[in-house]
Amino acid sequence: MTVAAAPKPALKSDAPLVDSFGRVVTYLRLSVTDRCDLRCTYCMSEKMTFLPKSDLLDADELETVARAFIARGVTKIRVTGGEPLVRRNILEIMTRLSGYLGKGLDELTLTTNGTQLAKHAADLARLGVKRINVSLDSVNPETFSRVTRGGKLAQVLDGIAAAQSHGLKIKLNVVVLKHDNAAEIPSIIDWAHRRDIDVTLIEAMPLGEIEADRFDQYVPLSEVRANLEKHFTLTAEDYRTGGPSQYWRVAETGGRLGFITPLSNNFCAGCNRVRLTCTGKLFLCLGQNDDADLRHVLRTGGNLDAALTEAMTRKPKAHDFLIDAPGKAPAVARHMSMTGG
């Protein structure tokens, strides 16, 4: 592993990133790759083409952008992708970012499919990562293999066990799919809560062309909750993370259950986040197409700070997701793996 230079200090900002609706951005989701070792049916098409390496921000560029955000008051960075743990120098990137913990950055975390976690869990814990999100849509090996197009459940379960053994707190993200896993949700919750793992259910969003019809995959979480109430006693909680989840406590398991409902219940009013793709495009909203090309700024010696200020003026009020008819084109052409979920 390359040893990163000592990070330059990121000063706490007196010029926070505030958009034209008064929302303050304190959370950056940083995609480090568009590649993945799985092909989840709702996320990617079977034959995805991936970007050449030269298009991606390198470790230096990623650190420079992260530092600029931290200097403007970003306190939380989530590394994502694609699958972040398949990027070859992921540990170098995480090492560099972890140098800002306690120096403006309060939390460094990541979202992963878990396949490479067994290999990386010890290093992540050593670098100061405290909790991670693992995306897992089924604990049934056949369903898992079908949804991921060939993934091996055992690999992810080993990764989760390794992460827990190194003290990493895990939250499971589960995209609910009408025909694939909707009927399995109670057993997934039961499985996770028995292992002290919180669960967040997510509605499938219309991002990018895939083989399946998204209308056919989508199920509103209000329906899922009504079904869950036949199995569990759910009590609404005040707990918020600053994110889009609404949380419930499951009396029978004692565990926490989150619902992310971008389609059936818009959550944009409290949005505190922006997303940077692995090619350095800053998306102000997951569900809109406007972006700021920070790679261009970086590679032409432009003023990154001014670019962030300008971009904030364009953060839209809300997304326009809608899955209201069969065969409808996706609301946003880029896949979630491109924007960074």
User: 186 and 194 in contact (C-beta within 8 Å)?
Assistant: no
CA distance 137 to 246: 19
**C-beta closer to ligand SF4: residue 111 or 246:** 111
Site string for ligand SAM, 178-197 (x = CB under 6 A): --------------------
Quick one: 43 or 274, whose CB is closer to ligand SAM?
A: 43
Structure tokens at 86: 């398949």
Distance CA(71)–CA(212), nearest Å, equals 42
Site for ligand SAM in 135-164 (CB under 6 A): 135
CA angle in degrees (0–180, nearest 5) for 178-271-290: 85
CB proximity list for 170: less than 8 A, separation 6 or greater: 131, 132, 133, 134, 160, 163, 164, 197, 198
H/E run at residue 198: strand 198-203
Site string for ligand SAM, 40-79 (x = CB under 6 A): --xx------------------------------------
Q: Give the x-and-dash track for 118-137 against ligand SF4 (CB under 6 A).
A: -----------------x--
Enter the tokens of residue 283. Answer: 């998306």
Quote the least distance from Cβ 59 to ligand SAM, whole Å: 19
160 binds ligand SF4, rule: CB under 6 A? no
- C-alpha 205/C-alpha 217 separation (Å) is 10
Q: What minimum distance in Å lies between the beta carbon of 110 and ligand SAM?
A: 8
Binds ligand SF4 by CB under 6 A, chosen from 7, 82, 208, 340: 82
Please report how close the Cβ of residue 74 comes to ligand SF4 at its closest, in angstroms: 23
* Span near ligand SF4 by CB under 6 A; candidates 38-46, 220-228, 257-265, 317-325: 38-46
Write down the least CB distance from residue 130 to ligand SAM, Å.
17
The entry of ligand SAM, ligand SF4, none that residue 77 binds, CB within 5 to 8 Å by partner kind:
none
**Contact assessment for residue 250 and residue 197, using Cβ atoms and an 8 Å cutoff:** no
Question: Which of positions 269-308 make contact with ligand SF4 (CB under 6 A)?
Answer: none
Residue 219 CB, nearest distance to ligand SAM (Å)? 12
- What residue has token string 């799919």? 177
Q: Pick one of 116, 138, 261, 337: the residue that binds ligand SAM (CB under 6 A).
A: 337
Residues 92-121 that bind ligand SAM (CB under 6 A): 111-113
Residue 277 within binding range of ligand SAM, rule CB under 6 A: no
Closer residue to ligand SF4, CB minimum distance, 137 or 198: 137
Distance CA 139, CA 143 (A): 8
- Kindly tell me the burial class for residue 243, based on how many C-beta atoms sit within 10 Å of its own C-beta (0-12, 13-18, 19 or more): middle
Binds ligand SF4 by CB under 6 A, chosen from 246, 337, 338, 339: 337
40 is an interface residue for ligand SF4 by CB under 6 A: yes
Stretch that binds ligand SF4, among 57-65, 81-89, 124-132, 318-326 (CB under 6 A): 81-89
CB atoms near residue 4 (< 10 Å):
19
Could you please report the per-residue DSSP string of 259-323?
A: EE-TTTS--GGG--EEEE-TTSEEES-TT---EEEHHHHHHTT--HHHHHHHHHTT--S------
CA distances 67 to 77, 97, 228, 270, 339, Å, are 11, 8, 43, 24, 20
Write the DSSP string, 213-261: -HHHH---HHHHHHHHTTT--EEE-----SSS-EEEEETTT--EEEEE-
Q: Are strands 17-18 and 24-25 parallel, antiparallel or unpaired?
A: antiparallel
Residues 42-61 that bind ligand SF4 (CB under 6 A): 43-44
- Residues forming contacts to ligand SAM in the complex (CB under 6 A) are 36, 42-43, 80-81, 83, 111-113, 135, 173, 175, 202, 204-205, 207, 336-337, 341
- Residues forming contacts to ligand SF4 in the complex (CB under 6 A) are 36, 38-40, 43-44, 81-83, 113, 135, 337
